[in-house]
Structure 1
Amino acid sequence: MTADEFYKSVKGKTVAFCGLGGSNLPLVRLFAKHGAIVTGRDRRTEEQLGDIAKELKALGVRLVTGEGYLDGLCEEIIFRTPGMKYHLPQLEEARARGAAVTSEMEVFFDLCPCRIIAVTGSDGKTTTTTIISKMLEAAGRKVHVGGNIGTPLLPRIDEIKPEDVVVAELSSFQLISMRKSPDIAVVTNVSPNHLDVHKDMEEYIGAKKNIILHQNAFGRAVLNADNEITASFAEDVRGQCLMFSRRHPVKYGAWMDESGEIFLSLPEGTTRIMNKADIRIPGLHNIENYLAAACAVWGLAGPEEIAEVARSFPGVAHRNEFVRELDGVSYYNDSIGTTPSRTINGALSLFDQKILLIAGGYDKNIPFDPLGPAIVNKVKTLVLIGATAPKIEAAVKAAPGYREGNPKIFHASSLEEAVKICRAEAVKGDIVMLSPACASFDMFPNFETRGERFREIVNGLE
């Protein structure tokens, strides 16, 4: 079915959009324009929605808002927002009565006319997605980036031509209901995450695995050989399977030797791509991101384009982003550090010296046990904020090697206070890093807002 045929098929049908956030809002406008009878459902009240509510009402959209926004879910087609639990009773009842419960990304995969490369993982999704898109652009290809990064793809489908390439970042929330996989699927790694939404780790892993389960023999899966869970996906790959490792050679895929030389091995032979020193953005995890990207783009971009991007790409905002130096102290924004593993493999792996770390935030029920030893080894001053502060402190104090004052531990009631404490504690040559190891939702709407606020505070220091 083409996009035109799909939009003709929804004319006159009742369509509900559950959650009027970034991925659904453009679709509400689009479906209303194509003659669907649209209902917008959101936990926020009309007053909280503000101008959004006024705009949608002007388009003829019926609004159901507040705590009971899913009551009377009677529409023929129901779009859930990605963060909504897939097995909510109201959605299960809708499926049982024959409603089509779907999502923006599911429909996009059905209608997309071109090759899709998709990236998932607990950490590194956005950077790897961005690197892949840069490499393809360097090779002269028209690229459309979306999914869990940037803007939704379905409203842009009319712009996409068969010869283009889509690069999509996919979260577990998007993947849990997918029954179609991309042409090229990348899994950066899998570690505990989002256990406040998924019923257990098994469901979370199953959602991630959906990115490869529906590929055919012509598909390509790119998997992290250094991550036990990700590597286990290989047995379910139906097409080409390329592994990547920064620790050892792989038979087919990308790997790094002891001297930092990076190679790609395929049945036709092994090609040197670059050295790790060519990668501009710091951190061992970014080497893995480049290894994954090289596997994904091979055949669409060559070693020259891969190395060119490595040398020139400065990184994505809020990911180990240098903010400023003041009085000899360097400040870095790693607000994307929303899990313990991301902070351990990212911020805490970048520098030889011990750093001043601001951590803590919303509690996603992820264990902090692995974070404790990493902080003891790599942090000299720890400033804790948010709901998880007591759990992180307990993990640090329970870690082998911890002793009073190693690290020094402070608690702050706000990000402003945390930066103020770091300013007072830091001396010339020190590094201050915001890498919370937690989501932001207890204090900020998202990690971007948290990172932008950190930037503002640091840039306001005198």
Structure 2
Amino acid sequence: MTLQEYIASIREKTVAIVGIGVSNTPLIELLAKSGVRVTACDRKSREDLGCQAGRLEELGVTLKLGEDYLKDLTQDVIFRTPGLRQDVPELLAAAARGSEITSEMEVFFQVAPCMLIAITGSDGKTTTTTLISEFLREAGKTVHVGGNIGRPLLCEADEMRPEDYAVLELSSFQLMTMTRSPHIAVITNLAPNHLDVHRDMAEYIAAKENIFTHQHAEDIAVFNADNTITAEQARRAVGHRRLFSREGEPEEGVFLRGDVIVSRMDGVEREIMRTSDILLPGVHNVENYMAAIAAMDGLVPDEAMRQVARTFAGVEHRIELVRTLRGVRYYNDSIGTSPSRTIAGLRSFPEKVILIAGGYDKHIPFDTLGPELVEHVKLLILCGATAEKIRACVEHAPNYQGVPEMLTISELRAAVETAAQRAGEGDVVLLSPACAAFDQFKNFMERGRAFKQIVSGLK
């Protein structure tokens, strides 16, 4: 089915699109311009939408705004925004009345004409997604990047060719209701995350598993052999299973032998690159490269992958060097929205760092974070709603003997200025909060850019 054929199939139906955000706005406009009767629903007020409200109404879109935006959903087709659970009472009631509940990504999987490559995981999925797309581009392929990064791809599906590649970063929220899986699926790792939205860890894992559950025998699934959860999931792979590992040498997949990344496929070994070829710092980025190599083996020449390793400087907000001032290096790792992400960031530095941490409480346990903070941090500056929880995890760490020193400073600017005052030549100041940003910022990107602006303004 093409995108135009899908639109034709719903032209005589009523459609509700929940969420007037980045991913849904192009879809709202496309459907309205194609003659579909669209109701756009959002908790935002008309004032919050500003001139966008008028533009949508000029296209014939009916707006349903405010606290009751989910009330009386009676449309034939309802597009769910990823952040909205599929089992909220209003959607359950709509489904019981016969409405079809779907999403922008679910429809894209129906209409995309090209190979689909999707990446998920608790940590590393954005970097791995970007690496795969860079590998393909270096090999001369046409690549469309979307999902959680890039741009919404559904509206561009008819412009794609069968020989193109769509590379998608998918969250657990997007995957929860997926009934199709990509041709190549990658799970970087799994650790507790988003437990403020998911009922429990089991539901979170089950959502991630949808990335490979609906594959076919000829498809490929890549798993982290060093992660207990993903190693167990690999046993249920439907298609060709490939593993990557720093700790062992899987029969089929990619592994680290000394400082060399080796690929073993169909019993044949090849040395792909040395870890010294990789410009990005940190052992976790070696893992990201192994995941990307396992996914692209057979599609991308080895030299193309080596060329990317030598030149790729990283993704914004992921251990991003902001500036060096008076011998002090300032790094933005605002993507550190969970303990496991922050632990990976801390392990990227040989020296003890000055760390700024804390933020919105996602109800993730900090037990594993405490010992790592003691080992890798000399001054811990705590901000946000989780400040006291993180302080407690340090104080209860078995290796805690009064170091790191801990300060609680509620506002980010004051935290950065304090870090700058306390830092000396050779020090590292790292923003890696181990928490989401929603207590003070819209998202981790806004938090990271605020950090960079403050650091850039230091005298």
Q: SS of the counterpart of 1:444?
A: coil
Task: Compute the displacement of 1:268 (Å).
Answer: 4.3
- Name the CA distance, whole Å, in 1 between partners of 2:22 and 2:288: 26
- Name the CA distance, whole Å, in 2 between partners of 1:306 and 1:336: 25
The CA deviation string for residues 10-37 of structure 1, in whole angstroms up to 9 with x for no partner, is 2132111111111111111111011111
State the match for 1:383 in structure 2.
Answer: 381
Alignment-mate amino acid for residue 364 of structure 2? I
State the match for 1:186 in structure 2.
Answer: 186
- Name the CA distance, whole Å, in 1 between partners of 2:311 and 2:87: 44
- Name the CA distance, whole Å, in 2 between partners of 1:52 and 1:247: 52
1:296 aligns with 2:295: yes
Asked if the contact 2:252–2:267 (Cα under 8 Å) also holds between the matched residues in 1, the reply is no
State the match for 2:350 in structure 1.
Answer: 352
- Name the CA distance, whole Å, in 2 between partners of 1:164 and 1:134: 14
- Name the CA distance, whole Å, in 1 between partners of 2:50 and 2:405: 45
Q: Name the Cα RMSD after superposition.
A: 0.8
How many residues get paired?
459
The CA deviation string for residues 377-433 of structure 1, in whole angstroms up to 9 with x for no partner, is 0000000111111111111111012123x1111111211011011011111110000
State the match for 1:204 in structure 2.
Answer: 204
1:396 aligns with 2:394: yes
Corresponding residue to 1:453 among 450, 453, 459? 450
State the match for 1:25 in structure 2.
Answer: 25
- Name the CA distance, whole Å, in 1 between partners of 2:7 and 2:180: 20
Alignment-mate amino acid for residue 286 of structure 1? N
Asked if the contact 2:251–2:267 (Cα under 8 Å) also holds between the matched residues in 1, the reply is no
Alignment-mate amino acid for residue 269 of structure 2? T
The CA deviation string for residues 426-446 of structure 1, in whole angstroms up to 9 with x for no partner, is 111100000001111111111
- Name the CA distance, whole Å, in 2 between partners of 1:100 and 1:397: 51
Asked if the contact 1:10–1:35 (Cα under 8 Å) also holds between the matched residues in 2, the reply is no
- Name the CA distance, whole Å, in 1 between partners of 2:228 and 2:256: 18
Corresponding residue to 2:365 among 364, 367, 377? 367
State the match for 1:13 in structure 2.
Answer: 13
Stretch of structure 1 that moved more, 233-242 or 200-209: 233-242
1:425 aligns with 2:427: no
- Name the CA distance, whole Å, in 2 between partners of 1:219 and 1:92: 33
1:242 aligns with 2:242: yes
Structure 1 ranges of 4+ moved more than 3 A: none
State the match for 1:37 in structure 2.
Answer: 37
State the match for 2:138 in structure 1.
Answer: 138
Scaled by the length of structure 1, the TM-score of the pair is 0.98
1:434 aligns with 2:428: no
Q: SS of the counterpart of 1:392?
A: helix
- Name the CA distance, whole Å, in 2 between partners of 1:320 and 1:206: 30
Q: SS of the counterpart of 2:235?
A: helix
- Name the CA distance, whole Å, in 2 between partners of 1:67 and 1:297: 46
Scaled by the length of structure 2, the TM-score of the pair is 0.99
State the match for 1:98 in structure 2.
Answer: 98
Q: SS of the counterpart of 2:126?
A: helix
Q: SS of the counterpart of 1:118?
A: strand
Q: SS of the counterpart of 1:441?
A: coil
Please show how residues 253-292 of structure 1 align to structure 2 within 5 Å: 253-257=253-257, 259-292=258-291
Corresponding residue to 1:407 among 400, 404, 407? 404
Alignment-mate amino acid for residue 427 of structure 1? G
State the match for 2:147 in structure 1.
Answer: 147
Alignment-mate amino acid for residue 368 of structure 1? F
- Name the CA distance, whole Å, in 2 between partners of 1:59 and 1:390: 50
- Name the CA distance, whole Å, in 1 between partners of 2:240 and 2:164: 22
- Name the CA distance, whole Å, in 2 between partners of 1:22 and 1:285: 30
Asked if the contact 2:122–2:191 (Cα under 8 Å) also holds between the matched residues in 1, the reply is yes
Q: SS of the counterpart of 2:247?
A: coil
Q: SS of the counterpart of 1:421?
A: helix
- Name the CA distance, whole Å, in 2 between partners of 1:104 and 1:213: 20
Q: SS of the counterpart of 1:67?
A: coil
- Name the CA distance, whole Å, in 1 between partners of 2:438 and 2:414: 18
Q: SS of the counterpart of 2:53?
A: helix
Query: Gaps spanning 5+ residues in structure 1: where?
Result: none
Task: Compute the displacement of 1:51 (Å).
Answer: 2.0
- Name the CA distance, whole Å, in 1 between partners of 2:51 and 2:359: 30
- Name the CA distance, whole Å, in 2 between partners of 1:319 and 1:157: 30
Q: SS of the counterpart of 1:236?
A: coil
Alignment-mate amino acid for residue 343 of structure 1? T
- Name the CA distance, whole Å, in 2 between partners of 1:36 and 1:457: 46
- Name the CA distance, whole Å, in 2 between partners of 1:196 and 1:53: 31
State the match for 2:110 in structure 1.
Answer: 110
The CA deviation string for residues 38-62 of structure 1, in whole angstroms up to 9 with x for no partner, is 1111111111121221221221111
